[in-house]
């Protein structure tokens, strides 16, 4: 039989694209499927099988049949003598699945076509992924990127998911010994393919012929400055893969802010220690430091004692309403670096200065 005959069965020109072949097959399958033609199964079954054969030949799943011209004319006359009269009735998918296994016309090939009909569904978008995103404190305040990893199960990337179940037998092509019939010339079951009509399939090393694999996916998530606990970020296409080539779903991530050991958190307020040399603490002045990814200039009041707290408003965390806490810095006095370079004379002068200050303090106390 020529290839052109198979195109005619699908009412297509020989220049039809693979997508046009698939669309025509779906349309005719819905029209002539025996499940959808109650009372006319015997009429539509031969037409349905010829449509199925044409689709498999044109998509490379089956080798073309060798048929004499007289046999082709006989087939054409048979088709004209018994025109199908479809009477479609609405049925649930579950009911169709039960009939597929119970009706006399249901063969292994027909059951495979019912399975194949699910595989030919249009692309479906993947499911969204809902997860927590753990954000360091400095990134929550200043913004930045945070990596997130999660495990997904998707069609095997090596075999495209075609090594699992009936998909593997379909994709392998017809059995060479029985020419895809599943039987020998004497009618016995083919021992090579076990009656399936399909060639054996090589084992996929990646998924072991399960058709799917699990792997870790990593995304870099952009976190805006001033992020808050519970804030939800949406990452397009960061969810699970879609079916039948559909786009992936989104990742919906809920922020959880992590504080390091150097900081304490009280609601939106943050608390940490600030080491200041005792000269600056005594005289007062500006002290520069780097905290939470920021360069800060902190004003130290004169005579600041050990443990005193300096509060910086609007330097803490934010909430969904736009409120912002404060940063509380508890002073820890330290020796200045230059103390190691003082001479004995300078040390004596320093001691004399503090002794004089102490005497003036006692005099003031006695006067009161």
CATH code where residue 109 lies = 1.10.287.110
On whether residue 106 sits in a domain, the answer given is yes
For residues 248 and 278, state if they share a domain.
no
Round to whole Å and give the CA distance between 326 and 314.
Answer: 5
For residues 324 and 276, state if they share a domain.
yes
Pairing mode of beta strands 285-291, 294-300 = antiparallel
Q: Higher confidence at residue 336 or residue 120? A: 336
- Residue 330 has what DSSP assignment? E
Q: What is the pLDDT of residue 17?
A: 84
For residues 138 and 204, state if they share a domain.
yes
Does 118 have pLDDT greater than 70?
Answer: no
Does 269 have pLDDT greater than 80?
Answer: yes
On whether residue 278 sits in a domain, the answer given is yes
For residues 366 and 269, state if they share a domain.
no
The token pair at 120 is 């030919």
Q: Which residues pair with 219 in a beta bridge?
A: 148
Q: Could you list the residue range(s) of the whole structural domain that residue 359 is in?
A: 343-368
Instruction: Work out the pLDDT band at 167, boundaries 50, 70, 90.
Output: low
pLDDT tens per residue, range 311-358: 999 999 999 999 999 999 999 999 888 888 889 898 898 889 888 888
For residues 137 and 254, state if they share a domain.
yes
For residues 212 and 274, state if they share a domain.
no
Count CB atoms within 10 A of the CB of residue 54: 25
Round to whole Å and give the CA distance between 255 and 338.
Answer: 45
On whether residue 239 sits in a domain, the answer given is yes
For residues 251 and 135, state if they share a domain.
yes
The token pair at 354 is 């503090």
For residues 248 and 146, state if they share a domain.
yes
């Amino acid at each position: 039989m020529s290839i052109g005959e198979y195109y005619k069965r699908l009412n297509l020109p020989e220049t039809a694209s693979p997508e046009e072949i698939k669309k025509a097959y779906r349309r005719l399958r819905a029209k002539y499927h025996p499940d959808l033609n109650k009372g006319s199964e015997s009429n539509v079954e031969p037409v349905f099988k010829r449509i199925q054969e044409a689709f498999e030949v044109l998509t490379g799943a089956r080798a073309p049949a060798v048929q004499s011209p007289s046999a082709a004319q006989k087939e054409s006359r048979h088709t004209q003598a018994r025109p199908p009269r479809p009477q479609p009735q609405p049925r649930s998918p579950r009911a169709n699945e039960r009939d597929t296994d119970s009706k006399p016309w249901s063969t292994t090939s027909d059951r495979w076509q019912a399975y194949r009909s699910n595989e030919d569904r249009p692309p479906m978008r993947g499911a969204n992924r809902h997860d927590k995103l753990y954000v360091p404190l400095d990134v929550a305040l200043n913004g930045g990127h945070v990596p997130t990893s999660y495990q997904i199960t998707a069609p095997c990337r090596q075999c495209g998911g075609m090594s699992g179940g009936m998909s593997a037998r379909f994709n392998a092509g017809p059995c060479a010994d029985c020419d895809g019939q599943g039987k020998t010339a004497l009618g016995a079951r083919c021992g090579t393919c076990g009656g399936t009509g399909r060639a054996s399939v090589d084992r996929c090393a990646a998924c072991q012929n399960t058709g799917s694999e699990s792997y870790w996916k990593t995304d870099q998530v952009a976190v805006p400055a001033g992020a808050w606990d519970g804030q939800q970020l949406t990452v397009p296409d960061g969810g699970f893969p879609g079916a039948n080539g559909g786009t992936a779903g989104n990742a919906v991530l809920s922020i959880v802010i992590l504080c390091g050991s150097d900081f304490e958190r009280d609601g939106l307020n943050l608390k940490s220690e600030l080491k200041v040399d005792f000269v600056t603490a005594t005289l007062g002045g500006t002290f520069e430091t780097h905290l939470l990814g920021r360069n800060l200039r902190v004003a130290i009041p004169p005579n600041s004692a050990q443990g005193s707290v300096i509060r910086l408003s609007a330097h803490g965390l934010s909430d969904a309403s736009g409120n912002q806490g404060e940063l509380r810095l508890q002073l820890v006095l330290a020796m200045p670096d230059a103390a190691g370079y003082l001479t004995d004379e300078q040390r004596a002068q320093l001691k004399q200065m503090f002794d004089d200050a102490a005497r003036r303090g006692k005099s003031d106390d006695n006067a009161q």
